[in-house]
Chain A
């Protein structure tokens, strides 16, 4: 039986020194490469940033030229914007406008001959209209109330009427009344 023994050609100290030397070289290479890569990336990004900044400055100059060109038309622009604002406002105002003349027309159309309307109060955006008046006859007052909601007369505008007060004026021999008439929704608009 032959006994096998390991034969060590290199002493352990030399082998350790060699492996340390390899490790040192690798660490140095890694450090150098890491530095080189970092420097390259930094340099590349820095150069890219510079080129972008130059490009942006160029674009800003172009913008400034366009702004100067627009400024030459300031008077035209002011009139165009004014026209646009006025046209938009006109549409809005006319859509929201209450035509009070239609109230007077409706009251006049409903008014019997021997009844006097002594006052009317109208408020924008309010559906309630107060009508004051006087008459010598309750029958005429009833007729007036009926006319106010008659489709052929005041009923085109008013939906309901409420006789809120009637006072007998003995000196004049008349009944003074207050009517609260309710208009249709948006009835005063056209």
Chain B
């Protein structure tokens, strides 16, 4: 076998044409297996570098914004407390029962049913819903007071449905308004922090300032 290979390599045409053809083939292999894939990698790296540079600029900007917010932390804490009264954080959802109870008591409405539960519930997104089944007994004027108080309460509570009926107590002759309602309130889950999410919030945002003024009109229970 070795003799056959040796005799093949010693053949004059192989000695004449072999080296240039071998160099040419090696050159082709270098281009096909080395240069072309490397060029693809180079392009990927270039786009990665551009993306990384942009990311650094964005991160730098976010870091600067957070530093500014950090300097205003007292104001942020204050406003957060105010907004948290309107749309609570997840941990404060159970307080809703107490607040509805307080509003009812303030208007002299007797609560007969108050429990969490409802038909549909949003379980995704930045805002989540929580429902209360509510039933009460009172007079018409007290029910009106309760509705107005709910609409002016600092904790945002909506009425999804209301049905009331008037009945007369046969013994006393007094009129009793029995109301049944589904109350809807909201809470925000703890935000998921990601360094790549830009901050678009500003304490001087016009809508935010308008909301601060709106919340001043609401009553805290």
What residues make up the interface of A, taking CB atoms closer than 8 Å to B?
24, 27-32, 34-35, 37-39, 41-42, 45-46, 48-49, 52-53, 55-56, 59-60, 62-63, 66-67, 69-71, 73-74, 76-94, 97-101, 104-105, 108, 116-124, 132
Contact = CB atoms under 8 A, between A and B. Distances in A.
Contacts of B127: 85, 89, 92
B84 A86 contact: yes
A31 B56 contact: no
Given A76-B70, A76-B76, A99-B151, A67 B195 contact: yes
Contact of A35 (B23, B156, B195): B23
Which of the four size classes fits the interface of chain B?
35 or more
Given A77-B69, A86-B80, A90-B86, 18 more contacts: A27-B17, A31-B23, A34-B27, A35-B26, A38-B35, A56-B45, A59-B56, A60-B52, A70-B62, A76-B66, A76-B69, A87-B207, A101-B144, A104-B140, A121-B161, A122-B159, A122-B161, A124-B159
Contacts of B35: 38, 41-42, 45
A37 B17 contact: no
B69 A73 contact: yes
B194 to A, nearest CB: 10
Contacts, number: 220
28 contacts: A24-B16, A24-B17, A28-B19, A31-B21, A31-B22, A32-B23, A35-B30, A42-B30, A49-B41, A49-B42, A56-B48, A63-B52, A66-B56, A81-B191, A81-B193, A81-B199, A82-B84, A86-B80, A86-B188, A87-B208, A93-B156, A97-B151, A104-B143, A105-B144, A119-B166, A122-B161, A124-B161, A124-B184
Interface of B: 16-17, 19-24, 26-28, 30-31, 34-35, 38-39, 41-42, 45-46, 48-49, 52-53, 55-56, 59-60, 62-63, 66-67, 69-70, 73, 76-77, 79-80, 83-84, 86-87, 89, 126-127, 140, 143-144, 147-148, 151, 156, 158-167, 184, 186, 188, 190-191, 193, 195, 199-201, 205, 207-208, 211, 214-215
A31 B19 contact: yes
A114 B70 CA distance: 64
B14 to A, nearest CB: 13
Nearest to A53: B45
Nearest to A29: B20
Given A42-B34, A69-B63, A120-B164, A52 B46 contact: yes
B interface SS class: helix
